[in-house]
Amino acid sequence: MLKNYLRDQLISIENAKRENRQRVANLIVEKPDLIAPLVDLTFSEVDEVSVKAAWVLEWVCTHNDLDLILPYLDIFTENIHALKKDSAIRPCAKICEHLAVSFTNKKDNQTKHALKEAHIEKIIETGFDWLITPQKIAVRAYTMNTLYLFGLERDWIHPELEHLIRTKIIHESKGCKARGKHILEAIKKHREN
């Protein structure tokens, strides 16, 4: 019943305009039991609302409360690698970045307790896959930052990320080149400290 109600709300979203995503996100925040069907619909590639579900899930995590996704990290991390639609990959890459930012924050928070090693490994693995396959600039930008942050605690990530940026990403669009240079500078600064 909840899933059908949510599907109807997602179907009513005509486009990715801010007010459309915010309207459905408000419903999720008011009724947190809708988050489970939202996560399920995000990864339902056969459902025409999967992209809209990804938009709203990212909006909830970005503008409302990242903690709402924490009980569903198993489902989220198990399925992000299987996304095929660019319009669903971008919001999920942004959620991964939010998780990395929260996890590596100096202050204690719920993400530090909920995000397990297995989740992080799946995000890292998917992130490297996104960097070696054709993806939009936003996906690459979010992913480079995600990998940089998780690389602060895992020695092997920065050399691999640096290699990919220097050999592949820096030769792509201006946006990828700019973000790549920024990440290379951050890696260098981290090494020097």
**pLDDT score at 57:** 96
**pLDDT score at 127:** 98
Tens digits of per-residue pLDDT, 105-153? 999 999 999 999 999 999 999 999 999 999 999 999 999 999 999 999 9
The two tokens of residue 63 are: 């503008």
Share of the chain above pLDDT 90, in %: 76
The two tokens of residue 102 are: 């929260």
Given a cut of 90, is residue 164 above it in pLDDT?
Answer: yes
Give CA–CA dist 40/147, Å, rounded.
25
Tens digits of per-residue pLDDT, 4-23? 888 888 888 887 778 888 88
Dihedral sign from CA coordinates of 153, 157, 163, 168 = negative
What does pLDDT average to over the chain?
Answer: 93
The whole model's pTM is what? 0.95
* Contact (Cβ atoms closer than 8 angstroms) between residue 29 and residue 65: yes
Rounded to an integer, the average pLDDT of 80-87 is 93
Q: What is the 3-state secondary structure (H, E, C) of 71-108?
A: HHHHHHHHHHHHCCCHHHHHHHHHHHHHHHHHHHCCCC
Domain positions in the chain: 1-72, 86-193
